[in-house]
């Protein structure tokens, strides 16, 4: 996501995030730093909401799509799900999706059913 962002909000006020409009930004470099921090915070909020939705289902098996790789899946499970529900999903498996982008699909399973 960060590689595709064009930072045009610095030059085009219509694309500028309303939060960043509160700052007196003097340079494009300063804008890039603030925009990166905002994007990371927003991404973390999205992951937390996803983890809350998964935890609310109390599912024993979860199928996921748009997973970058097994390491990203492990980081999400430990960093978010395990801290929310305690037991976590210890069995994880990823396989290549059917598109050309290299994005995987995944399955996570609990060791014990609820």
pLDDT digits (tens, 9 = 90+) for 77-111: 888 888 777 777 889 999 988 878 878 899 999 88
Write down the domain spans for the chain: 1-57, 59-114
Question: pLDDT (tens digit, 9 = 90+) per residue, 25-73?
Answer: 788 888 777 777 777 677 777 888 888 898 888 889 999 998 888 888 8
Helix (H) or strand (E) run with residue 55 in it: helix 28-57
- How far from each other are the two terminal CA atoms of the chain, in whole angstroms? 36
Q: What share of the chain is helix, strand, coil (3-state, %, to 5)?
A: 50, 15, 35
- pTM for this prediction: 0.61
């Amino acid at each position: 996501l960060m590689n595709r962002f064009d930072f045009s909000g610095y030059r085009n006020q219509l694309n500028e995030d309303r939060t960043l409009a509160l700052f007196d930004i003097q340079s494009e470099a300063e804008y890039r730093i603030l925009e990166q921090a905002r994007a990371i915070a927003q991404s973390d909020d999205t992951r937390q909401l996803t983890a809350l939705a998964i935890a609310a289902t109390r599912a024993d098996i979860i199928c996921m799509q748009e997973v970058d790789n097994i390491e990203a899946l492990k980081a999400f499970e430990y960093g978010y799900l395990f801290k929310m529900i305690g037991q976590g999903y210890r069995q994880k498996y990823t396989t290549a999706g059917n598109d050309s982008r290299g994005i995987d699909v995944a399955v996570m399973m609990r060791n014990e059913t609820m």
